[in-house]
Structure 1
Amino acid sequence: MNGHAKRNRSIFIVLALAPAIILMTIFMLYPVLSVFQMSLYRWGGYSPDKEFIGFQNFVTLAKDMNFIRAMQNTIVLIVLVTVVTLAFALVFAAILTRVKFKGVGLFRVIFYIPNILSIVVISAIFSAIYDPAQGLLNSVLRLFHPSNWQGVQWLGNEKLVIWSVAIALIWQAIGYYMVMYMSAMASIPEDLYESASLDGATAVRQFFTITIPLTWNTIRTTLTFFVISTINLSFLLVTAMTGGGPNGSTEVFLSYMYKQANTNSAYGYGMAIGVVVFLFSFALSAILQGITKRDVYEF
């Protein structure tokens, strides 16, 4: 390739990449850098006056018990939603892939329906289920209790409400990840299962020795999705369902950040929370990718 052709090729590559780079810079890189910059200021968000205070917002953040509680709630949701959703999605995917019965396609659609519903709709559904007077859950439990039983305040009890939110998140996510795992499982050769059956391996043993190892790369990828989506969706669901209550018992990273930045006129402080969320998400994703790394099985 002569010099003129190389130059034309380089120009073409630059022109092809330029729109994507410009858009990424404007809508991703610049906002992220702005968050880091604003976290170093005391600013109400609307006032023209900004006071540079360095890392004082982060020092205050480390002593803020409300933020620490929001962080604890977020970690609980990440761990609980990830483990339970991963387990159920894998099991359901294996059943719908390996077991042959009528209506498999219908079950796939039914499981995926929650994923296409908006968070507002999901919030309304579970708020109705958790209603202490006429909700489905208490109505079922009332069958096993005296007639004067008042029911459980699922969204009003500080000890129960975070678990109630977690159930809604799990219900919403299972179908999406199940479809991803089904796609990965469909590529596993049937011969492997037939050979294992001839050797006397049960369906459960085949699941742990064939299915999981050969879908491990997909599982690793979805772990990162779990972290990011749980952080984002927990904010939306908490905002629509509980508003962070009662008494901040369902406050999560982003809901607390939003309230500080927009409600309490502490925009710089809210951006400091945003920086912590960014670093936390990045670090947790990197750790998960590191500890789940293993040799790739080929077939």
Structure 2
Amino acid sequence: MKDRAKKRFIAACIAPALILVLVFMAYPTLNVFIMSLYKWGGLSRNKTFVGLNNFLLLTKDTNFIRSLQNTLMIIVLVTMVTLSVAMIFASILVREKIKGQNFFRIVFYIPNILSVVVISSIFSAIYDPSMGLLNGLLRSIQGEGFQNIQWLGNQKIVLYAIIVAMIWQAVGYYMVMYMASMSSIPVHLYEAADIEGAGKVKQFFSITLPLVWDTVRTTLTFYVISSINLSFLFVKVMTSGGPDGASNVILNYMYNQAYTNSSYGYGMSIGVVIFLFSFLLSLLVNKLTKREQYQY
């Protein structure tokens, strides 16, 4: 009787969470795969089964390919720069005797407290061609002959402008994570390295980085996937994919196809691609970053 009661209690505790997962995660995900096989506007009752035709159309869709390329560019640049800068800042604040370390932690972490909409609005104001802070600063340096730069209206630089905003938003969060991991490294390892004549850079790559590598792997996988979602939010607020699709990312393109162009089935096929792309990308990152664990 006790075993049965125990099992019933465990089942009762697990059931609410399991139901929520099935209703709000499993079923919607399965529905995306199903609807990707149909041609449907999203509102009418008429659905036409087209099989894999939506996916065949994707291979010929230049706008989809361009949005996928933009997404890959954002993933690579934002992830590499964000985690590298966060690692450097964390190492400096932990290893060097700097006054007001807690103050710097708070200052760097503040952008992560703000919503993406607020940050996007701030950078949109900074990039404003006539009244923006950035053009104003450049004008004060170059003089009256300076011509305003369309930071969000130039196809060649708009994506880089968004990337800068994304980096600024995320650096502080990962810096705090790395600081927590670095703080657990025994001081005697660095003292021994000092005696051996190893410099700060040598110590970083020989001691710090190997001992926090598990944290690096976790944050790398997490941010690679989350940058796909973040890029959609930044692009939606700052440019809506413009100018002329130059800043369009894959999630924004899926949203436009499914909910703006009334091509729900086609949009869901893009959703399937995003799901598989994210899953394979996380596996690839874990495979490439796998290495022997160091003990201390």
> How far apart in 1 are the matches of 2:145 and 2:202?
49
1:63 and 2:60 matched: yes
**How far apart are 1:204 and its partner, in Å?**
1.1
Give a deviation string over 1:28-78, Cα, whole Å, max 9, x none.
100100000110000111111111111111000111000000000000000
1:234-271 residue CA offsets vs partner (Å, 9 max, x unmatched): 10110000010000001001100000000000000111
Secondary structure, counterpart of 2:99 in structure 1:
coil
Deviation at 1:201, TM superposition (A): 1.0
Q: Could you say which residue in structure 2 is the equivalent of 1:286?
A: 283
- Answer yes or no: is 1:54 the counterpart of 2:70: no
* Aligned partners of 2:138 and 2:146 also within 8 Å: no
Cα distance in 2 for residues equivalent to 1:206 and 1:285? 29
TM-score normalised by L of structure 1: 0.96
- 1:219 corresponds to which letter in structure 2? V
Q: Please name the residue that 2:250 is paired with.
A: 253
Residue 5 of structure 1: CA displacement?
A: 4.2
Q: What pairs up with 1:34-183 in 2 under 5 angstroms?
A: 34-183=31-180
- Listed one character per residue, the Cα deviations across residues 205-246 of structure 1 (whole Å, up to 9, x for unaligned) are 111111110000010001111112110111011000001000
In the alignment, residue 189 of structure 1 is paired with which amino acid? P
For 1:39, give the aligned amino acid: S
The gaps in structure 1 that reach 5 residues or longer are none
Query: 1:287 deviation in Å?
Result: 0.3
Secondary structure of 1:143's match?
A: helix
Kindly report the root-mean-square deviation, in angstroms, between the aligned alpha carbons of the 2 structures: 1.1
By how many angstroms is 1:90 displaced?
Answer: 0.1
Q: Does 1:216 align with 2:213?
A: yes
Residue by residue over 1:149-205, the C-alpha shift from the partner in whole angstroms, topping out at 9 and shown as x without a partner, is: 212111110000000000000000000111111111111111111111111111111
Structure 2 gap segments, 5+ residues each:
none
Distance of 1:104 and 1:8 partners within structure 2? 52
Give the deviation of 1:26 after TM superposition. Answer: 0.7
Counterpart position of 1:29: 26
How far, CA to CA, are the matches of 1:70 and 1:164 in structure 2?
16
1:253 aligned partner, one-letter code: I
Q: Which runs of 4+ in 1 moved over 4 A?
A: none
Once residues 227 and 153 of structure 2 are traced to their aligned partners in structure 1, the CA distance between those partners, rounded to angstroms, is 22
In 2, distance between residues paired with 1:159 and 1:229?
25
1:190 to 187, 191, 196: 187
Percent identity for Structure 1 against Structure 2: 59
Distance in 2 between residues matched to 1:121 and 1:12, nearest whole Å: 44
How many residue pairs end up in the alignment?
Answer: 296
- Give the Å deviation of 1:146: 4.2
C-alpha distance in 2 between matches for 1:281 and 1:207:
31
